[in-house]
Amino acid sequence: MRERPLILVTNDDGISATGIRTLIEIMNEIGDVVVVAPDSPQSGMGHAITIDSTLYVERVIVDNEKQLEYSCSGTPADCVKLGIREVLERKPDLCVSGINHGSNSSINVIYSGTMSAAIEAGIEGIPAIGFSLLDYKWNADFSASKQFVKTISKNVLKHGLPSGIILNVNIPNIPKKDIKGVKICRQAKANWVEKFDKRKNPQGKDYYWLTGKFVNLDHGEDTDEWALENGYVSVVPVQFDLTAHHYIQNLNSWNLND
Domains observed in the chain: 6-187+220-252 (3.40.1210.10)
**3 state SS of 17:** coil
> The pTM is what?
0.93
Predicted confidence band of residue 193 (pLDDT cuts 50, 70, 90)? confident
User: pLDDT tens-digit profile of 128-161?
Assistant: 999 999 999 999 999 999 999 999 999 999 999 9
d(CA 9, CA 35): 5
User: Of 55-64, 69-78, 155-164, 234-243, which range is least confident?
Assistant: 55-64
User: pLDDT tens-digit profile of 2-45?
Assistant: 589 999 999 999 999 999 999 999 999 999 999 999 998 888 77
- Percent of the chain surpassing pLDDT 90: 83
Q: Give the type of residue at 108.
A: N
Per residue in 145-169, is it b (16+ CB within 10 Å) or e — as a string?
bbebbeebbeebeeeebeeeebbbb
